Every structure is written in structure tokens, then in C-alpha cells.
């Protein structure tokens, strides 16, 4: 539906408006092609390309424990397999919980300011972790508390994704959210690839502390480097966010307005679907290193060599899911992702060691790579569905009511879509906790069969409400 032609007063407001880095922007009309081509695209792209690395560092902090636990016992900590899985899972609790909070706080205070602050606070858990790892006498409860604080890094996703959606027109939301989320998700792979490399030498010098002895490999390592490395980068990105991003007045909304999403059926349905896609992605990313270590390390396969590849593929496929959804529809891509993940996990189940059988590592690993790829595809498609669903519903209600009503409906749909994006990502983040926790509490094969059953329910929901002919909210 075409937007109404701007009034002369709106044009005058646009001429007086400043779109410089750091400014608060009041006049923002991405659906107006003239505005988008002359001003909007440039400003939106600047905010996007600052948001991405800031979000990536949030994921680094959130996932740092997934690789840290692999080496804890090697340097003398002496925890059980179950305790290590719990250390991996704990950041998921705080990550999901704080995402709920961040969803609603960002629009209240302004996303530029909030992005800078939420990035800067992550310096604290990285410093705490780095110092704690240098003493093998650090108690388990303290490490668990540090893991909980590191989980705050995962909360940045909710505010970041809700914010970026406001900057782009409907036709580009899928690609923009896919880039922001996908490249931000690369933080999982970055930490799983880089941290094992920097701990092998004193690359940060004497200020980072002395080495620990890796008894298994009979060599010295600097485990704290995997935490200290990110501190200066977090400070730099916080400053860049403060000075280069913008606050949009159109994105500002008190909680009293945002809470309307809890009455929206499609908030809950899309949250269910996003739990299936992103919950799988982040949970598998957290649990895979220990799965490799526990099941295949005796055969010579190192978790630090392989674990980062799956999240890397999943993160890139998130952009592909957004791009593809802009062209063939998000619901179709989402359905494809659930079918693909279910098939991949069936392959993983039959590749795991069982009884006297040592299993097949390469079939196991390939199955997980495929699962990551389809989860990333679904991450991109679901976040394209959300703004489309809410925009179409509100604009249909405003048909025939005049330009002012249509503009109000569009603004309301953007606000609700942003809140739903953040809330659904918050609930899905609990996958970070539940998947490793299920691996710790039950047989891995039993847990995987439960995931497959859950995907079947997601497939049914997506087909009935969004993909079938005559669906209530085709997207």
C-alpha cells in the first residue's frame, strides 16, 4: 500500500532535521522512496554497520563459556561432566531473562545510548572471568555466578534487532535484520575460533597474568586470554555506538504502549516458532563443544578444532534466510528450516556412539552442520515474518480511514513488531540453557528426539497460520 504524500509542514520539518551521527531523529519515513534514496538509506546503513560488530561482541561474551569449559579440567579445576554442562547452560538463563528487559528498555531510553551502555557493561564480566581463571582454587559457585553475568551479553540482541527494524522499509527488513542478526551471531564462531588460539601463548603480555599448565598436553596455556582479549574491543565499540549511531523518535515508546503485544496472538505464535529456530541455534552452539569432547575426543577429534564451524554456517545462513524470505515469503522458508533440522538431527542420532559402537564422527558432525544451516535459515525467515504480519494486519484495519489513520497504523505496527522481535528473541534465548541442561540431565539421543517432536509442532503452527492457502496471516 502506498504511503500518503508528505504535507508541506512535513517537508519543512525534514529540511530542518539533522541526520548527523549521534543526533536524535524525529522525521523518519523509510517507506517514502524520495526520502529513502536521498537520506534514509545512508543513515540506516551507518547505524546497521555499527550495530553489527557491537552485537557480535555481545554474542562473544555470551558464548565465551562454551569454549572455556573445555579446558577447565585440563588446567586443574576438576569438575564433573554435569557441572561443566551447567556452566555452559547458565548464561542462557540470564541471557533470556535480560532480553525481556532489554526489549522494553531500549525504546524508552533511546537505542543509541542503550547500545553504547549495554556494550560497555560487558567489560566487567570479562575482567572477572579473566582473573578467576588464573586460580584453580576459584570455587564452583563463583564460576557459576560469572557465567550468569556473562549471559547479559546475549541480551543485547533483543534491543539491537528491534532497533534496526525501524530504520529500513518493508522490502528490505528481511535482508537488514538478516545481516544484523546473522553477522552478530558470528560472535559465537568468533569466540570459539579465536579464544582457543589466544590461550596458547602470552599474546597479551605480562598484564594478563602468568600461564596455567595443561596436564593433558603437557604445555603451558593462558586461559584468561580468552576473556581479557575482548575488553579493549568492547570499549571501542561502546564509543563508536555513542558517537556514530542515532536515536529514532519513532522507535521511542513507553512500556505502557509496548505491553499491548501480550494481547496479540501472533506474538505468542511467532515466539513459538523462533524458539524452534534460534533456540536450536544457540543451544547447539553452547552444547556442541562438550558433545564432541565427551563422545569423540578419545578418537582424536578436538572440540576446539570443529565446534566453531556450525555456528559460523548458521550465522551466515541467517542472512540467506532473510534474503530468501524477501523473495518467496518467510513462512515457506520457516517451514523448510524445520524439516531440514529434523532430518539433520535424525542423522546425528544414528551417528552417536551406542553400546560398543564408537559412532561415526563425520556423520555426526555433518548432521550438526546441516542443523545449524537450517536453524540459521529459519532465524532469518521468522524475523522477516514478524514485521510483515503486524504491518499487514494494522494497515488492513486502517483501509478507507484516510492518510492520518494509515500513518498511525503504520507507526503502531512498527512499534509492535519491534517489541515482538525483542520478546520472541528473549524467550528463544532460553534454548541456550535448556539444550545443554537436557544434555546434562538425560541421554543425548533422548534429548534429540524431543527436539524433533517439537519441530513437528512448529511445522504445524507455521503451515496453519502463515503458509497454507487462506492462512490467517500469510507472511
pLDDT digits (tens, 9 = 90+) for 31-69: 889 999 999 899 999 999 999 999 999 999 999 998 899
Own/partner long-range contacts of 406-409 (Cβ < 8 Å, ≥24 apart): 406/1, 406/3, 406/4, 407/3, 407/4
Q: What confidence score (pLDDT) does residue 9 get?
A: 42
In percent, the amount of the chain with pLDDT more than 90 equals 49
Per-residue pLDDT at 326 exceeds 60: yes
Q: What is the mean pLDDT of residues 171-175?
A: 78
pLDDT band for position 209 (cuts 50, 70, 90)? confident
Per-residue pLDDT at 365 exceeds 70: yes
CB atoms inside a 10 Å sphere around CB 460:
12
Condensed to tens digits (0 to 9), the pLDDT of residues 4-41 reads 444 444 444 444 567 888 888 888 888 889 999 999 89
Q: What is the mean pLDDT of residues 83-102?
A: 89
Mark out the alpha helices in 199-247 (DSSP H runs).
Answer: 225-228, 231-244
Burial 161-200, CB ≥16 within 10 A → b, else e: bbbbbbbbbbebbbbbbbbbbbbbbbbbbbbbbbbbebbe
Look at residue 171 and tell me if it is in a domain: yes
> CA–CA separation, 333 vs 404, rounded Å?
35
Per-residue pLDDT at 298 exceeds 90: no
Look at residue 176 and tell me if it is in a domain: yes
Cell numbers placing 354: 551406542
Which of the pair, 458 or 432, is modelled with greater confidence?
458
Look at residue 144 and tell me if it is in a domain: yes
CATH (domain of 196): 1.20.1250.20
Q: What is the mean pLDDT of residues 441-450?
A: 92
Look at residue 402 and tell me if it is in a domain: yes
Condensed to tens digits (0 to 9), the pLDDT of residues 373-383 reads 999 999 989 98
Q: What confidence score (pLDDT) does residue 16 get?
A: 53
Look at residue 368 and tell me if it is in a domain: yes
Look at residue 11 and tell me if it is in a domain: no
Q: What confidence score (pLDDT) does residue 251 get?
A: 67
Condensed to tens digits (0 to 9), the pLDDT of residues 120-135 reads 999 999 999 999 999 9
Condensed to tens digits (0 to 9), the pLDDT of residues 214-226 reads 888 889 989 999 9
Among 148-157, 166-175, 233-242, 258-267, which is the least confidently predicted range? 166-175
Predicted TM-score (pTM) of this structure: 0.79
Side-chain half-sphere CA neighbours of 85 within 13 A: 22
CB atoms inside a 10 Å sphere around CB 464:
12
> Rounded to 10 degrees, what is the CA torsion of 289, 291, 292, 298?
130
Q: What confidence score (pLDDT) does residue 7 get?
A: 44
Cell numbers placing 149: 553475568
pLDDT band for position 252 (cuts 50, 70, 90)? low
- Is 246:47 a contact under the CB 8 Å cutoff? yes
Strands 24-25 and 247-248: parallel
What is the chain's mean pLDDT, rounded? 88
Q: What is the mean pLDDT of residues 297-319?
A: 90
Give the count of domains, the chain: 1
Using CB atoms within 10 Å of the CB of residue 280, give its burial: 0 to 12 exposed, 13 to 18 middle, 19+ buried: buried
pLDDT band for position 396 (cuts 50, 70, 90)? confident
Look at residue 343 and tell me if it is in a domain: yes
Burial 141-156, CB ≥16 within 10 A → b, else e: eebeebbbbbbbbbbb
| Enclosing domain of residue 120 | 20-467
Look at residue 434 and tell me if it is in a domain: yes
Q: What confidence score (pLDDT) does residue 11 get?
A: 42
Amino acid at each position: 500500500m502506498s504511503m500518503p504524500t508528505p504535507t508541506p509542514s512535513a517537508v519543512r520539518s525534514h529540511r530542518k532535521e539533522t541526520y548527523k551521527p549521534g543526533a536524535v531523529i524525529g522525521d523518519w519515513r523509510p517507506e517514502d522512496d524520495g526520502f529513502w534514496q536521498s537520506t534514509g538509506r545512508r543513515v540506516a546503513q551507518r547505524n546497521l554497520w555499527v550495530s553489527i560488530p557491537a552485537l557480535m561482541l555481545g554474542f562473544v561474551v555470551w558464548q565465551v563459556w562454551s569454549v572455556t569449559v573445555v579446558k577447565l579440567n585440563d588446567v586443574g579445576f576438576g569438575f564433573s561432566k554435569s557441572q561443566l554442562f551447567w556452566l555452559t547452560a547458565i548464561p542462557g538463563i540470564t541471557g533470556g531473562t535480560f532480553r525481556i528487559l532489554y526489549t522494553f528498555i531500549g525504546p524508552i531510553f533511546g537505542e543509541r545510548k542503550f547500545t553504547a551502555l549495554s556494550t560497555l557493561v560487558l567489560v566487567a564480566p570479562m575482567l572477572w572471568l579473566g582473573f578467576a581463571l588464573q586460580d584453580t582454587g576459584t570455587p564452583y559457585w563463583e564460576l557459576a555466578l560469572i557465567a550468569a553475568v556473562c549471559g547479559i551479553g546475549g541480551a543485547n540482541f533483543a534491543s539491537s534487532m528491534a532497533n534496526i527494524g525501524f530504520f529500513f522499509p518493508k522490502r528490505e527488513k528481511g535482508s537488514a535484520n538478516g545481516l544484523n542478526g546473522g553477522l552478530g551471531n558470528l560472535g559465537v564462531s568468533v569466540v570459539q575460533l579465536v579464544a582457543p588460539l589466544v590461550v596458547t601463548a602470552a599474546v597479551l603480555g605480562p598484564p594478563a597474568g602468568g600461564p596455567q599448565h595443561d596436564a593433558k598436553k603437557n604445555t603451558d596455556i593462558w586461559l584468561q586470554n580468552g576473556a581479557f582479549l575482548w575488553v579493549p574491543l568492547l570499549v571501542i565499540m561502546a564509543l563508536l555506538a555513542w558517537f556514530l549511531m542515532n536515536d529514532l523518535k519513532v522507535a521511542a515508546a513507553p512500556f505502557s504502549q509496548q505491553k499491548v503485544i501480550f494481547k496479540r496472538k501472533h506474538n505468542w505464535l511467532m515466539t513459538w516458532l523462533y524458539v524452534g529456530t534460534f533456540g536450536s541455534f544457540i543451544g547447539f552452539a553452547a552444547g556442541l563443544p562438550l558433545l564432541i569432547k565427551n563422545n569423540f575426543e578419545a578418537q582424536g577429534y578436538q572440540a576446539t578444532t570443529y565446534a566453531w564451524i556450525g555456528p559460523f554456517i548458521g550465522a551466515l545462513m541467517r542472512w540467506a534466510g532473510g534474503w530468501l524470505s524477501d523473495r518467496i515469503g518467510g513462512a515457506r522458508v520457516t517451514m523448510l528450516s524445520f524439516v531440514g533440522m529434523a532430518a539433520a538431527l535424525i542423522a546425528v542420532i544414528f551417528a552417536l556412539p551406542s553400546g560398543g559402537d564408537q559412532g561415526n564422527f563425520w556423520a555426526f558432525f555433518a548432521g550438526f552442520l546441516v542443523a545449524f544451516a537450517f536453524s540459521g535459515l529459519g532465524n532469518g525467515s521468522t524475523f522477516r515474518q514478524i514485521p510483515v504480519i503486524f504491518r499487514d494486519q494494522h494497515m488492513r484495519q486502517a483501509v478507507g480511514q484516510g492518510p492520518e489513520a494509515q500513518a498511525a497504523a503504520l507507526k503502531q505496527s512498527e512499534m509492535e513488531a519491534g517489541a515482538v522481535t525483542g520478546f520472541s528473541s528473549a524467550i528463544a534465548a532460553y534454548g541456550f540453557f535448556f539444550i545443554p541442561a537436557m544434555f546434562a540431565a538425560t541421554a543425548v539421543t533422548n534429548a534429540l528426539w524431543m527436539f524433533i517432536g517439537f519441530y513437528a509442532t512448529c511445522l504445524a503452527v507455521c503451515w496453519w497460520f502463515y503458509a497454507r492457502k487462506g492462512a490467517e496471516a500469510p507472511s
